[in-house]
Structure 1
Amino acid sequence: MPTLLRLGSYRFFCYAGDRDEPPHTHVERDQAQAKFWLTPVRLQSNKGFSRVEINRLQKLVEAHQEHLLEGWHDFFNH
């Protein structure tokens, strides 16, 4: 379960079993977790984050989209 990015209390990561899905990132903080597709950036699922926090997370994913995509491709292509 490689970590692609850490920002404050958020960890952005993917699972090894995610290889056959389109590029995306899971985001977790405490017991909350969300999943965002990366191209285009959009929320796929949310478990525990408020709507305000999901909006904040979407902006973070958009701001770091290139880095997250690079991490995704590095992990699954090596």
Structure 2
Amino acid sequence: MTWSWEYLPDEEQVAGGAPEEFRAAVGRKADELVRAAEALYLDGTTFEGSGEPMRYVDVAGGLFAYFVVPRLELVAVCQVTPPPV
């Protein structure tokens, strides 16, 4: 497997209506989180345990919530809060 990130359950439900610039910033930060998780869990598929709790990241004036699923080698972005208009 290869580490990746995705919106959970899908992009429209999680980030629908958020400005494109903000979505791009979320994507860049999620890419960084994928690289960090890949370095921390060298072979995530063999991970045993409950994984990490949900975390929040400030990005481009807003924030997003994510969690890491080592056995799936996945960073799941589950909520975005874009900056106020």
Same fold (TM over 0.5): no
> Normalising to structure 1: TM-score of the pair?
0.33
Q: Larger Cα Rg: Structure 1 or Structure 2?
A: 2
Of Structure 1 and Structure 2, the greater strand share is in 1
> Normalising to structure 2: TM-score of the pair?
0.31
Higher RCO, 1 vs 2 (CA within 8 Å, ≥6 residues apart): 2
